[in-house]
Structures are given as structure tokens and as C-alpha cells.
Amino acid sequence: MAHDDVLGIGTLENYMVYGPHWHAIATGWMMNTTQFDKETGGAGYKKKRYLATESAIHEVSYYISTHAAREWGKQSVRYYGDISYRMLARELVEERIVEQKCPECGAPIEEHACNTEGVCLEKLRDCITEKIKYYLYWKRGTEKPIFKGIWQCTLSSFSDYK
């Protein structure tokens, strides 16, 4: 409706309110939101929920990735402060090849060659796969956390984060 200027107030910019914000998947302790608000001059934060499963982490990661604005010639900021690339070290700990499945029926997704009218000509692949890489992150300059498996890392090196 804003694109159609239904209120008659002009360009799309007149419908928008500038509100930069960050989404994060975080571990560990977070200071009281009231204290954080005072120390940051009103930044505040909202804790949505505890992510108990790998699936929940993937869902939130996907949601967050849909909020990264992309403008030609500009870079989306994917980090802030102590979690910037220069502050973190990382190590690849696992790679998985995951077969892609239909979200409706769960069947493997196949690849077919089609003509310009969308008619399938031949099957090219029985299944489509995706490579997923898992990294262990820790604060640069501190001891690497003990790796116990995906999502069960000891992150004691992050205890000084606020």
C-alpha cells in the first residue's frame, strides 16, 4: 500500500521510520535490560526465547538472514562490537552434506531439465544436496573453548561479555 501511496503523502520514504537494530543468537549471561538501557543510552534489548535444539537455531538463523538489507555498492553489517570479525577466532569443526527434501511431503528434491514452456525433458539428478559448515567461535586472544560436539561447546571464554 505504501508503494501505491494510499495515504497520498508522497514517496516511499514518507512511509518509513528509520529504526536500525540487530538480531543475534547468543549464549551466556546478559545483563539486566534496564541496566543495559541506562549504559547504552536507550538501546535496550529483547530476549525472545531459549533455543533448545539445532532445528530451532536453524529456524532463527534463517529468520535473521531475511532481515539483512542489501543495497547495491553497500555491505550488510553482520556483526557489532565484540562480535566483529577482528574480535573473534574460528575453527571449522564439521561439514555435513544434507539432502534437500520437499517441505510439503518430505520427498527428496530432484533436478530436471525443462524446456522454455516448463515441460520436464529428463531427470538430471536424483537429489539435491547442500553442504553445511559448522564453526567453533571464541574471543580472539583467549583460550579456545573445549569442543564437545555441535552446540555443546563450553563457552567460558565469553563470560566477560555483557
Quote the mean pLDDT of the chain. 77
The band of 122, judged by pLDDT with boundaries at 50, 70 and 90, is: very high
pLDDT for 158:
37
Of all residues in the chain, the percent with pLDDT exceeding 70 is: 75
- 81-120 in b/e form (b: 16+ CB < 10 A) is eebeeeeeeeeeeeeeeeeeeeeeeeeeeeeeeeeeeeee
Least confident of 15-24, 39-48, 70-79, 139-148: 70-79
4 domain-assigned:
no
The band of 42, judged by pLDDT with boundaries at 50, 70 and 90, is: confident
The band of 162, judged by pLDDT with boundaries at 50, 70 and 90, is: very low
d(CA 122, CA 73): 40
Print the SS3 string covering 10-27. CCHHHHCCCCCCCCCCCC
2 domain-assigned:
no
pLDDT for 151:
47
User: How many other C-beta atoms lie within 10 A of the C-beta of residue 50?
Assistant: 6
Least confident of 2-6, 101-105, 156-160: 156-160
Per the structure, the count of domains in the chain is 1
| Domain span at 96 | 12-158
3 domain-assigned:
no
109 domain-assigned:
yes
Residue 115 has pLDDT above 60, yes or no: yes
64 domain-assigned:
yes
5 domain-assigned:
no
Residue 127 has pLDDT above 60, yes or no: yes
Residue 120 has pLDDT above 60, yes or no: yes
Q: What mean pLDDT do residues 32-44 have? A: 80
| Residue that wins the pLDDT comparison between 133 and 63 | 133
Which cell goes with 132? 553445511
